[in-house]
Structure 1
Amino acid sequence: MPSSPRGWRARLRVPAGVLGAVLLGALLWEGYKAVGDPDGTMLFGVRLLPRADDAAMPHVAEILGRFADPELTGGEPVGLVVLRAAAFTLRSVAVGFAVAVLVGAALAVLMQRFRVAERGLLPYVILSQTVPLIALAPVIAGWGGRLSIGSRPWEPWMSVATIASYLAFFPIAVGLLRGLQSPAPIAEELMRSYAAGWWRTLVKLRLPAARPYLFPALRLAAAAAVVGAVVGEISTGTRGGIGRLVIEYSREATTDPAKVYTALLGAALLGLAVAGAVGLAELLLTPGRRVSTR
């Protein structure tokens, strides 16, 4: 833990920055709504800026107030429904993120250990991220329908977790590989002079040196896992999650536009919560160090 007021101030900058960004976004939203064209800004027949009417851009207070209103007449509040859907999606995000960490770390260590593996695997790792998720999700869901884990059948949320891990492993593999390759040659020579083998060099030199690269990569991976899970739920039609809720609420966009934004805010807050959990892990694992904001 930080031992001085300056240390605490350094660690409080990140949540303060997030809060400031949220407030700035709300001000920009209301500012554009106040001065923007209700029909949108058009140029040569192409809409460059969105419509600023109440049907397309409800007031921020109206969106926030919709969380307390019942989803249906006499039903549960929208906020509770969104929270339950976010918790459902969080399971897929957590499993997908854990798988992505294992796969990404294994690939990074393998590519650092063997140069031929780096030359052979890295192009395919990069190429994997060019496949559109909207096309990949139905394929994964179809494969999952034919699989089982022992006596347990493959469930739809597992396909969503697979999609989340597919999108999240890339920043971990690339970021950790860069960190493992970051020690200076003189440090590697020093380890060799002590007759340290590859494993001891990895544990004592390369992994500590990779820490500044790893945690920013983990934050990117956490956000990517949320995006993958939401897109996966939308593409595969998995019910119960925040992605499906976005689709269901979008059907009421013309009559209840504020309701649509509650699901979108729920997805955004889920991403912030997962990224915040990674930041908390960094605080706990790097006592006395300043949190990286990259």
Structure 2
Amino acid sequence: MRRALGSLALAAAAAGVWELYKWLGSDDGTTVAGVRILPRADDLSMPHLWTVLARLGDPELTGGDPIWQVLLRACLTTLGIVAVGFAAGALVGLVLAVLMERFRFAERGLLPYVVLSQTVPLVALAPLISGWGGTIMPQWATVSVIAAYLAFFPVAVGLLRGLQSPPPEAVELMRSYSAGWWHTLVKLRLPAATPFLFPALRLAGAAAVVGAVVGEISTGTKGGIGRLVIEYSREATTDPAKVYTAMLGAVLLGLAVTGLLVGAQRLFARGVAT
């Protein structure tokens, strides 16, 4: 309850800062030495939050479904893509972490490239992967590959740290019991890695959402929330609140994925406790 109230208080504070700046800020923004350091506070750049919320109930098009229904369908579509990408990324991260823990030369050889992989701009990578759509795999699967590309890194690094966390005395004790590498992994290293694994999975879930949204935008995949961001942004000058509804949908999707992972962690902790 404390965490829920704290999250609500933080959201309310952010909304208050938004509206306060819109009230006090300049319509032309704040500039220092000719450089704008704060955004414009006019209605086209920063619509009132209640205007955005009211726009959710309006039809997307004349006689069409309300925007909130369109956003919900788009978020569910993207959620399916995120689930595939997250599962694939988590599996790749798990395999890499176990491999690097088992063989020190694999850690020395692979870990720098694992870190280096995250320096590649996703916007530049997405069009290359999108070329696989329709030939090697469906178009939506290319977006899942992009999501997996961002999701595997936190799992690989976090789980590797967790697998290496048992003290040497515990490892020596397992050896004294004649336990092989597999039994040591299952009975000692994986349980010790649990506190590292779930935070890494939460980061991977958030990264998968970002990858899916950016992938939908870059590849032009239809039906998802990323596509709506592009479509609604074309109306930014005439209907700015509509643009923010798509952004709000993407934010809520990320929060929903994180909430599902937190719930899974709690269920796992209860199962272990019982």
After TM superposition, is the score higher than 0.5? yes
Q: 1:144 aligns with which of 133, 138, 142?
A: 133
Counterpart check, 1:20 vs 2:3: no
* C-alpha RMSD of the superposition: 1.4
Cα distance in 2 for partners of 1:36, 1:141 equals: 42
Fraction of identical pairs, as percent: 68
What corresponds to 1:264 in structure 2?
247
Counterpart check, 1:186 vs 2:175: no
What corresponds to 2:185 in structure 1?
202
Cα distance in 2 for partners of 1:144, 1:73 equals: 33
Q: Note the C-alpha offset of 1:34.
A: 1.1
Deviations 1:41-83 (Å, cap 9, x if unpaired)?
0111111000011111111111111110111111110100111
Q: Secondary structure at the match of 1:47?
A: strand
Cα distance in 1 for partners of 2:44, 2:261 equals: 37
Q: 1:281 aligns with which of 248, 254, 264?
A: 264
Q: TM-score, normalised by structure 2?
A: 0.97
What corresponds to 1:91 in structure 2?
80
Cα distance in 1 for partners of 2:4, 2:271 equals: 18
Q: Which AA in structure 1 matches 2:176?
A: S
What corresponds to 1:169 in structure 2?
152
Q: Which AA in structure 1 matches 2:167?
A: A
Deviations 1:154-201 (Å, cap 9, x if unpaired)?
211100000000011000000000000000111111111111111111
Q: Which AA in structure 2 matches 1:102?
A: L
- Structure 1 pair 235–185 and aligned structure 2 pair: CA distance change class (3 A): same
Q: Which AA in structure 1 matches 2:118?
A: Q
Q: Secondary structure at the match of 1:266?
A: helix
What corresponds to 1:6 in structure 2?
none
Unmatched segments (≥5 aa) in structure 2: none
Does the CA-based 8 Å contact 2:132-2:139 persist in structure 1?
no
What corresponds to 2:53 in structure 1?
64
Q: Secondary structure at the match of 1:112?
A: helix
What corresponds to 2:62 in structure 1?
73
Q: Secondary structure at the match of 1:144?
A: coil
Counterpart check, 1:125 vs 2:101: no
What corresponds to 1:31 in structure 2?
20
Cα distance in 2 for partners of 1:225, 1:258 equals: 26
Q: Secondary structure at the match of 2:238?
A: coil
Q: Note the C-alpha offset of 1:289.
A: 9.2
Counterpart check, 1:134 vs 2:117: no
Q: 1:109 aligns with which of 77, 98, 105?
A: 98
What corresponds to 2:195 in structure 1?
212
Cα distance in 1 for partners of 2:3, 2:271 equals: 16
Cα distance in 1 for partners of 2:187, 2:13 equals: 43
Q: Note the C-alpha offset of 1:23.
A: 1.5
Cα distance in 1 for partners of 2:64, 2:134 equals: 34
Does the CA-based 8 Å contact 2:26-2:40 persist in structure 1?
yes
Aligned residues between the structures: 273
Cα distance in 2 for partners of 1:253, 1:186 equals: 62
Q: Note the C-alpha offset of 1:84.
A: 0.7
**Structure 1 residue runs of 4 or more that deviate by more than 4 Å after TM superposition:** none
Q: Note the C-alpha offset of 1:288.
A: 8.8
Does the CA-based 8 Å contact 2:159-2:193 persist in structure 1?
yes
What corresponds to 1:222 in structure 2?
205
Cα distance in 2 for partners of 1:93, 1:67 equals: 24
Cα distance in 1 for partners of 2:3, 2:130 equals: 38
Unmatched segments (≥5 aa) in structure 1: 1-11, 148-153
Q: Note the C-alpha offset of 1:28.
A: 1.0
Cα distance in 2 for partners of 1:19, 1:95 equals: 30
Cα distance in 2 for partners of 1:145, 1:166 equals: 20
Q: Which AA in structure 2 matches 1:215?
A: F
